[in-house]
Chains A and B, each alone.
Chain A
Amino acid sequence: MEKLLEIENLSKVFSLGSILSRVHIIAADNVSFYIKPAEIFTLAGESGCGKTTTARIILGFEEPTSGAIIHDGKKKARNEKVWFTEGIQAIFQDPFATFNPLRTVDNYFFETVKNYKLAKGKEDAIEWIDQKLNAVGLTYQEFAGRYPSEFSGGQLQRISIARALLTNPTLLIADEPVSMVDASLRMSIVNLFKKLRDETGVSVLYITHDLATAYYVSDRIAIMFRGNIVEMGSVEQVLMNPRHPYTKLLRESIPEANPKKRWTTTVNLTELEQEEYLRKGCKFAGRCPEVMDICKGVVPADLIVNDTLVKCHLYSDENSSAK
């Protein structure tokens, strides 16, 4: 199987506190996944689950503690940014923070064209930029010489997608790209990712906490919890038939846009984030409704159930045969 990007046993440890009371937080713990060409892959989870850390490591903003990133069959070495960013581009959460409010947005485009030597002369550059803007439903005329404040959030997010497309990347990394966009325009951004995938074959690593749009847009999904991928597989399998108790909790907690499906049960929120990071066995053991003795001491293995990866003792051989 062809793999566009492969992440192998990626770990990142942050040390907090002073010398006397040092705490190690494992933000990403042996994370492994791959992305195929022309595929939308979602990394989902709550804040503090390590999804953004993983993206930052892939983009080279952060050095991993261990592990490897393999892109197009080549391993990424330290400080090797140029060939890497040509193939992988990023889109961030807040479009207003992406651009400097005192610079016109076309500035960024010309700069990128120049840095990557994408065009000869200004005419060429404008044609190149116009082509990329057309892909997101904008034109060069309506964008040239304007400042970020002259656009709406939805337009600006499209512009930042067009900017990411300039280098003809094979993979876009989108970190919460719609959470700051107005509700009525959200789907237009999400639909744009689908269109780009189908028409130009670009893959997207979609990072979000919104499982409803994740279900709508993506092909495969990985659910992260406290640095671990706890469940990974096709969206149909993971979201419509969740196996890991954490995925079940997450799926149940989403307020569905259907007044006939109101919550009937309650959740308890007691454990602290840091305590969960420092847990020895399964990180979810403190809140899990199906917790067993083994969960508190032993980290569950990555088990494959119906082509889906599940990191839970419930699905190990001795337990599933006992059922």
Chain B
Amino acid sequence: MATEAHTAPHAASARPATGAWSWVTTVDHKRIGIMYLYTTFFFFAVGGLMALAIRLQLEHANNQVVSAESYDRLFTMHGTTMIFLFVVPVMAAFGNYLVPLQIGARDMAFPRLNAASFWLLLFGGMVMYSSFLWGGGAADAGWTAYPPLSVLSPGHGLDLWIVGLHILGISSLIGAINFICTIHNMRAPGMRLTRMPLFTWAIDVYSIMIVIAGPVLAGALTMLLMDRNYGTSFYQPATHGPILYQHLFWFYSHPVVYVMALPGFGMISEIVPVFSRKPLFGYKALVYSIVAIAFLGFLVWGHHMFAVGFSTPLQIWFMIASMAIGVPTGVKIFNWIGTMWMGRIRFEPPMLYAVAFIGLFMIGGLSGIFLAAFPIDLYVTDSYFVVAHFHYVLGTVPVFAVLGGLHYWYPKMSGRMLDRALAVRAFWIIFIGFNMTFFPMHDLGLSGMPRRVSTYTNNAWDTANLISTIGAFVLGTGVLMVLWNCIHSLRVGRIAPADPWGANSLEWYTSSPPPPHNFDELPPIRSERPLYDLRREAAATAVTGD
């Protein structure tokens, strides 16, 4: 019976309301997820344009495309935008859309709170960006905003930056609480934690990390705001305040690396088994490794501070803890390849992105070992090597995991298929552009180019910078092709069936797009692959002629 329902997807019984007002007032997790997607991709485009301006300025020595003043604002806002307005909330976009579907729930635990977290995201972004309109201009102290520089930064750009971050922090905090409540209370019968899709697992851990780390940043930034405006002295040099800030900042910001990365891992863990036609190799090991990475992620913040004058024992601790993260990360990579091994791999666009992610993330993971080994770090920290490293870690997440996820779930969200040929072409352009942009930066860092310089005089750095700048435009072209594909296919794409990929998790059981109430009925959930079980039963029935 359930099989029949699956092969003939449900006609959406209740037609969703349309019109702008219905979107403004919606509490449907899917619509909120879509609004999150539009908002975060808008900020992705803005952050990307800033990156292009940065790359134009650095294209050759002594270039003068933008002033030092503008450059400082550009790299500050590029980093802030990509982290707080794109990568962190884009995971909430997918989480919002997918978590209730993946656990067989009707909606999130607190639908109105969910709407609030979206509108706060938009509001926080607007507050932060309003700083461009004020006389003093936007924040210019880097996304790390180290005092004393950030205390001295003139105008109110940095104040608006802090207030904007506070609003974004509240947005992600209430979103995280909502995810935790939803995942732990609203799973369908049979959906045990050990049968939960890896993406939902990752969102659970993502949320827990936000709840633990978020308030620390909020406190650190509040003290910065007070120091700037009300004469407090939390970060005054006489009491080593500048170092205190760095501890607080990185106690939040290193876990945030995993807040961004884990849902990306979750996406890859969804895509790889489906397109390999195999179950995840070592489901439990992958879950344990997500939890282990999250736990260790809270113990390693000091590796961002190796040059502040730490004692050697402290450096040794942070080195060993940081290296330890390599172990669960390695387990993930091995298990993904183990999933592909002996499979029947279909290179649909999501799988192209997934395999590229595994390979490129490996580069980022391995270059992380250089940074964990603090004697090397004392050479490469704050150089372009670090910029290369974190783009291979945190740039691959949005560019390869999230775009992979977008190609994977687009049919579910829109009810249309993407143009496959265009998607494949865009993938290769992105792959080439990404590596052209970021790989040469390793070399720049090793040959002595510090990060965050608005210009440079050393002509030896010209070639690598030129390659990087060209690569950035290639990458931008590829991303534009993806966005065009997504917009164009909304109108002309082939109608998507409920499950275009032969997937495993519950979101593919309902129609594409799902009706407002998500499911008319649910299949039995006896493993982490309920839809695979259904297909196998159907095949057995067909053979026995039952």
Do A and B come from the same complex? no
Which B residues fall within an 8 A CB radius of A? none
